[in-house]
Amino acid sequence: MEIFWFIAIAIVLVMFFILDGYDFGAGIIHLFFAKKEKDKEVITKSAGLFWDSNEVWLVAAGGMLFMAFPTFYASVFSGFYLPLIIVLWLIIFRAIGLEFRGQFKYRMWKDIWDKSFGVSSLLLALFFGIALGNIVRGVNLGIVKTGVSAHEPHYFFLPLWDSSFSPLSQNPGIIDWFTIIIGLISVVTLAIHGANWIILKTNASINNKLKSVIFKLNILLTLLTIFSIVVWQIVNPNSLDNFINKPYLLVFPLIYFTGLLGTFFIRRIQKDSHAFLLSSLLILGGITSSLASLFPVLLPSINNVNPSLTIYNTTTSEYGLSVALVWGIIGFILLFGYMIIQKRLLKGKIDKMDYGH
């Protein structure tokens, strides 16, 4: 049952980053490349028509974590308290940037909320990548000092950074040189994904230019990916053990590299939906590869005193999991039904659709 809920939560997280990921990416593209008012309008619309429904998947993931792995939920929500509050404010400013922009036609008013949308999207992509970097790096569970655990084995609290700025520190911060690398990979990946979404859903004048941008970003992503794999071995020398011991897990890195290699042919791809599928594979492969490398661990411990948090030592009771199964199935039906209906109602180009202002 623990494995089932691990897979179910992984699916929900992947769906969130594929769906809301193109919103983040659209905001990044809007921030750096949209110059004409018409382009700014259709790009904000390509995100604005979908963002609220896409974030339902994040709420679902949080609820499922609380339901299936309450100890892990309590641990990370207290330990990562500072970045979670930052993420909350960024989500708020991104949303009001989208919703307030069209309320008045004054240039300064629009510029303020354009920056709110773009900068918030950029920082959200960065912080979600940094969060993944923290998960694969591990934390000092129990806050062990000189071999003695100062707190409960599942407790930790991280500052935004420490003076060493190193992931190899005994008490690393949330932001260090390793998590920054993973954060940059997230930003570049979601920028590619957002650009593909804009091309798919709009007739913006920058669409042809975006294909060149995607190609260049993909080169950067390839270099960052290779570099991250190398430094990952420094941070966690056992990071590839699962792939060696269970070769079938290599399907997940294969998905990622399929998306990575396919995106190099962006200028030759005729169907915009195929390009969007490739960037979706990047997200799918990246998240699942990270989770597969850790399984069954949810959060590694970087000390030898307290054990890592796993799907087995953080789960709720068997009865709780069985009851949750019934409601989980109902929730999945509602989630997928909601997504399918919305996507069908808003299919095709959205340039002439009303945003409701």
pLDDT at 129 over 80: yes
Q: CB of 24 within 8 A of CB of 344?
A: no
pLDDT at 357 over 60: no
User: 152 falls in which pLDDT band (50, 70, 90)?
Assistant: confident
Within 10 Å of residue 195's Cβ, how many Cβ atoms? 28
H or E segment and range at residue 185:
helix 177-201
Q: Which amino acid is at 74?
A: A
Angle between helices 207-235 and 2-33 (to 10 degrees): 130
Residue 47 structure tokens? 């995100």
**What's the pLDDT at 132?**
92
Q: CB of 18 within 8 A of CB of 190?
A: no
**What's the pLDDT at 356?**
59
Please write the tens of the pLDDT for every residue from 245-268: 999 999 999 999 999 999 999 988
Q: Which amino acid is at 244?
A: I
Q: CB of 187 within 8 A of CB of 126?
A: yes
> Mean pLDDT in the chain?
89
Please write the tens of the pLDDT for every residue from 21-40: 999 999 999 999 988 888 88
Please write the tens of the pLDDT for every residue from 48-99: 888 888 888 888 888 888 888 999 999 999 999 989 999 999 999 998 888 8
Residue 173 structure tokens? 């911060």
